[in-house]
Amino acid sequence: MRIPFGTISVTERSKELIRDILDSNRLSSGRYVREFEKRFAELVGAGEAVAVSSGTDADVLALAALYDFGAERGDEIILPALSFVATGNAVLAAGFTPVFVDVDLKTLNIDPLKIESAISEKTRAIMPVHLMGKPADMEAINGIAKKYDLRVIEDAAEAHGAVYKGKNAGTLGDMGAFSLYVAHIITTVEGGIITTDNEAYAEILRSLRSHGRACKCKSCILNTASAYCEKRFGSNGSGDIRFVFERIGYSSKMNEMEAAIGIGNLDIYNEILQKRRENLYYLLEKMKQFDRYIISIEKEHHEEIGPHALPMIVREGKGFTRNQLVKHLEKNGIDTRDLFTSMPTQCRGFEFRGYKHGDFPNAEYIGRNGTHIGVHQDLGKEECDYIINTIEDFLDKV
């Protein structure tokens, strides 16, 4: 049996929309991107959604929006030491300084008890990551942010469908940044999207994704209907508004074909979510029998986990390594991914920050001993049982 890490659902409606888009010759951001944004915002329960070209860009632009509210380049952003490296890269790409905090080994998320000691007069925001779709402790994080007048930007890359105390991921802070990469629950193949209830943030984000230009309407008549725009040539003598740049920006627009795939995913979102959640919760229940050997996340009563993947962390002193387990899984057709690393101490690119090995013991332990496997909608009970049986077969030989 072969069990790939991820899959992609391209619906017939998506294919029809792509054919229409190709026939129209309007391939760049237009009316289908606007439709995708509107529907994504409604799904999450946010007032606004701004589509961009990647989940990393979603992080970058959400952070860059802070400059309009007094942040300065070099200011600090607090984030977990453990995440996909894009989180740390985004902080640097936005012009900020990453300040890392260790994670809780049980939840894989930033440890709120360690945040306050990392705050300085230069801190501007906290960026929790809902790793593996497990919601971070947002009540504690928001409490700290309020106390120190900080913004909260959720890295919700893997958290489609995650719910924390009755609220969806992406509505738990000032902004939420989602990835729409191919292996995620909602995908546009490549792409990302930022959610917020703040209209001012959304307007800035629309400017930032298009070089910082002053042209930032929620729905642009120029690229959705090719019609005359009353705002384009203002009366202030500044010329074409599309060539007036209000801030340092990026080139991060989503295109129409990506949006078409995303719209198809939204059509079947509940079906995808239900299947993936069924797979994840089934596997988590079955994994309990291996608890003395392997740590995984647990569903708590106040949450729903966004079913991105099944994390597994080898316990210390059990007579085998993560790499040995991974080799067994891969030889038996089960695709794996390392469970990321401690960015500040296990990723060479962050050495300049001056952290040393041992500063983030939990993140480092997970970086050495963690892996994860897919729970996607193409899997069923037979595949899930095969995963469990394969792990059991390995442990029987330890």
- DSSP H stretches of helix in 182-250: 199-208, 221-224
Q: What is the CATH number of the domain that holds 130?
A: 3.40.640.10
Q: Please state the rounded mean pLDDT for residues 12-29.
A: 94
Residue 106 has pLDDT above 70, yes or no: yes
Q: Are residues 316 and 228 in the same domain?
A: no
**What pLDDT does residue 29 have?**
83
Q: Is residue 233 part of a domain?
A: yes
Q: Is residue 5 part of a domain?
A: no
Q: Is residue 349 part of a domain?
A: yes
**What pLDDT does residue 363 have?**
98
**What pLDDT does residue 228 have?**
67
- State the pLDDT confidence band at 237, using cuts at 50, 70 and 90: low
Q: Is residue 1 part of a domain?
A: no
Distance CA 54, CA 294 (A): 33
73: left (phi over 0), alpha (psi -120 to 50) or beta: beta
Question: Which of 267, 283, 301 is where one domain is finished?
Answer: 267
Q: Is residue 56 part of a domain?
A: yes
Give percent of the chain above pLDDT 90: 89
**What pLDDT does residue 162 have?**
98
Q: Quick one: which of 280, 295, 301 has its CA closest to 362? A: 295
Q: Are residues 84 and 143 in the same domain?
A: yes
Q: Are residues 263 and 282 in the same domain?
A: no
Q: Are residues 283 and 209 in the same domain?
A: no
**What pLDDT does residue 239 have?**
74
- State the pLDDT confidence band at 238, using cuts at 50, 70 and 90: low
Q: Please state the rounded mean pLDDT for residues 58-84.
A: 98
Q: Are residues 87 and 210 in the same domain?
A: yes
Q: Are residues 312 and 227 in the same domain?
A: no
**What pLDDT does residue 213 have?**
87
Q: Are residues 261 and 377 in the same domain?
A: no
Residue 251 has pLDDT above 80, yes or no: yes
Q: Please state the rounded mean pLDDT for residues 69-95.
A: 98
Distance CA 378, CA 278 (A): 12
- DSSP H stretches of helix in the chain: 12-24, 31-44, 55-64, 86-93, 138-148, 199-208, 221-224, 256-267, 269-287, 322-331, 343-346, 361-369, 381-396
**What pLDDT does residue 219 have?**
67
Q: Are residues 170 and 76 in the same domain?
A: yes
In the chain, the number of structural domains is 2
Q: Please state the rounded mean pLDDT for residues 355-383.
A: 98
Cβ 178 vs Cβ 192: under 8 Å: yes
**What does the pLDDT look like over 172-223, one tens digit per residue?**
999 999 999 998 999 999 999 999 999 999 999 999 999 998 876 666 655 6
Tokens standing for 64? 């860059």
Residue 3 has pLDDT above 60, yes or no: yes
Domain holding 110, by residue range, is 12-267
Question: Which of 233, 267, 301 is where one domain is finished?
Answer: 267
Q: Are residues 352 and 207 in the same domain?
A: no
Nearest 5°: CA angle at 216, between 210 and 218?
120
- State the pLDDT confidence band at 225, using cuts at 50, 70 and 90: low
Q: Is residue 126 part of a domain?
A: yes
**What pLDDT does residue 241 have?**
76
Q: Please state the rounded mean pLDDT for residues 342-361.
A: 97
Q: What is the CATH number of the domain that holds 383?
A: 3.90.1150.10
Q: Is residue 3 part of a domain?
A: no
Question: Which of 246, 267, 288 is where one domain is finished?
Answer: 267
**What does the pLDDT look like over 121-135, one tens digit per residue?**
999 999 999 999 999
**What does the pLDDT look like over 47-58, one tens digit per residue?**
999 999 999 999
Q: Are residues 240 and 293 in the same domain?
A: no
Residue 247 has pLDDT above 80, yes or no: yes
Q: Please state the rounded mean pLDDT for residues 13-18.
A: 97
Q: Are residues 294 and 155 in the same domain?
A: no
Helix (H, G, I), strand (E, B) or coil at 110: strand
Q: Are residues 284 and 255 in the same domain?
A: no
Residue 253 has pLDDT above 60, yes or no: yes
**What pLDDT does residue 220 have?**
62
Q: What global pTM score does this model have?
A: 0.94
